[in-house]
Amino acid sequence: MKLIKHTLIAAAIVAGCTACSADIDVEVGEPTYTAQDAKDFLAEMESEVGKLSKPAAHAAWAYATHINYDNAQVSTYFREQISALVAKYAVEAAKFNDVEVDADTRRQLELLKTSLVMAPPADPEKSAKLAQISSEMSAMYGTGKYCRSEDDCLSLVEMSSQMSTSRDADLLLEYWKGWREVSVPMRGLFAEQIGLANEGAQELGFKNTSELWRSSYDMPADDFPKELDRLWGHVKPFYESLQCHVRAELSEHYGEDIVPLDKPIPAHLLGNMWAQTWGNVYDIVKPEQEMNVPDVTKALVEQGYDEIKMVQKAEDFFSSLGFEPLPETFWERSMFQKPEGRDAQCHASAWNLDDKEDLRIKMCIQITGEEFNVVHHELGHNYYQRAYKDQAMLYRGSANDGFHEAIGDTIALSITPTYLQQVGLIDEIPDESNDIGMLLKVALDKIAFIPFGLLVDQWRWQVLEGNVPPEKYNDLWWELREKYQGVMAPIDRPADAFDPGAKYHVPANVPYTRYFLAHVLQFQFHQSLCEIAGSEEALHRCSIVGSKEAGKALNDMLEMGKSRTWQEALEKMTGSPDMDGSAIAAYFAPLKAWLDEQNADRQCGW
């Protein structure tokens, strides 16, 4: 899911630094800056951002909830202004690289410098070209269709919908191949963008854009990929067991000629356009025995839930932890349904428009069990936004970009049968013999995603260094997909293919490691909160609902925002500064034992 905020990364900063009173070094003629200059610089930045950020946030909200030409123009104007101004202020921050300042000032300066995703060069023409390329690639993706003929074109949404349910291997391959035609023209633009962005990153003091991205995680840039591989090592044995079972069941369903048992899984058969989550093939890989899985959707409908009641129930969850109720404006200003008579973005997102109390969610809520989880997730973002609202502007964000997503998912992990019974959506809690089916469903989405969440930026970091030629982009992509996922292209890819561009986050320049981190952290958070709550149930059956102790521990961490390193924030709640994937093994222990039984006579690996 997504969160929207208007400060820093989405904030405006004016060019120059009128508050910086530089002393002139007579010998060299170069200005020198003091620690006080740096403080004045940050104070001016915060003041200037406040003048633009709120109207920019309202313009973005207006467009997201009412898509039309005029709202688009206003929103685009503010977005372009913000992007340019943040870039100018980030360059200004680099002036203080060698100034001795206190730790708090240094942290804010570094956060400002690493706030840019694609740093525009100082040259106005090059900066404009970088913005133009980004817009062109986003437009290619957003308007992309696969056309069988002039009168028969399919959108990504239409193809994805069919891929989630179809078991026709030929049709799945056609859609998989067809969507990747959209990204072919992006490759040259992407390569040109890298050259321009690397020039901008170098002006900020980084070797390239890859180093810029990797420098935003409170550790040396070169150490961060090693940290991710360490975490992947915790999850890899369980993932390999899951991949082995899924491949065997798909092979039995489609035939070994389509799904060989000694090779990676063909990417078009996993129920998802990118093979990033596998939940849509649950019907093929599920246990043979009948499972008594609560039908939350049926219960919601039978009990007359509407969109408002679903959100109220999620608010009750947080209230049970000791959090204050949401402000009245939340209920007045949020979008819970698709408005009649106008277009709007239905993708679920959480907003804080004034960085204080103007909290909102934007969703076209469906009365389903899945959406019940999503509502809890989105409110997790809102309560995080509220918790750090009193921090300095540059600290109003999550400890690292994985924390925000992890918090929402952590709350969703507490929507267990115990919780569902407590809120009256089920009468009886199914016994533990039914847990395998539930755990397998969760694993097909969350565990199957983890290597994909890791490899997208592993690919991008190498490419952003500028050392991979465009004709090798696709080869590297599939090398990493086979290495981490055990998934392969179903057909030979043509020389001009640019398959990474068929994933939204690549042409849109959205960093992806946050999703990998969130999928690891949520289980670590959940385990710690369950321990604090005093739960004696198995980890996958624990719900922290009603625990004021767990709520306080959670809020204490949330209030820190980005004011301390993510290691300090993590230690605040879990007692350890280290990210740890062992909670995943604990959560899925019954499923791992079941998978090992299923795989006993199978050849695993690829």
Q: Which residues are catalytic?
A: 378, 505
Contact criterion met (CB below 8 Å) for 569 and 557: yes
What is the C-alpha to C-alpha distance for residues 400 and 425, in angstroms, rounded to an integer? 35
Going by C-alpha positions, the residue among 258, 271, 265 that lies closest to residue 240 is 265
Q: Which two tokens stand for residue 81?
A: 């202004």
Q: How many residues appear in the chain?
A: 606
Whether the CB-CB separation of 581 and 223 falls below 8 Å is answered with no
The single residue listed with the structure tokens 């093929």 is 284
Interatomic CA distance for residues 378 and 359, integer angstroms: 11
Strand partners, 149: 152
Terminal-residue alpha carbon distance, the chain: 32
In three-state secondary structure terms, 167 is: coil
Among residues 40, 137, 45, 39, which one has the least CA distance to residue 82?
45
DSSP assignment of 100-154: ---HHHHHHHHHHHTT-SSPPPSSHHHHHHHHHHHHHHHHHHHT-EEEEETTEEE
* Alpha carbons 442 and 37: distance in angstroms, whole number: 52
**CB within 8 A of 7, min separation 6: which ones?**
49, 53, 355, 393, 394, 396, 397
What residues does 147 pair with on adjacent strands? 153
Burial 153-162 (b: 16+ CB within 10 A, else e): ebebeebbee
CA-to-CA distance for 198 and 196, rounded, in angstroms?
A: 5
Name the DSSP letter for residue 393. G
In the three-class reduction of DSSP (H, G, I as helix; E, B as strand; rest coil), residue 571 is classed as: helix
Closest residue by Cα to residue 86 from 138, 127, 58, 126: 127
Distance, in Å, from the CA atom of 128 to the CA atom of 121, rounded to the nearest integer, reads 9
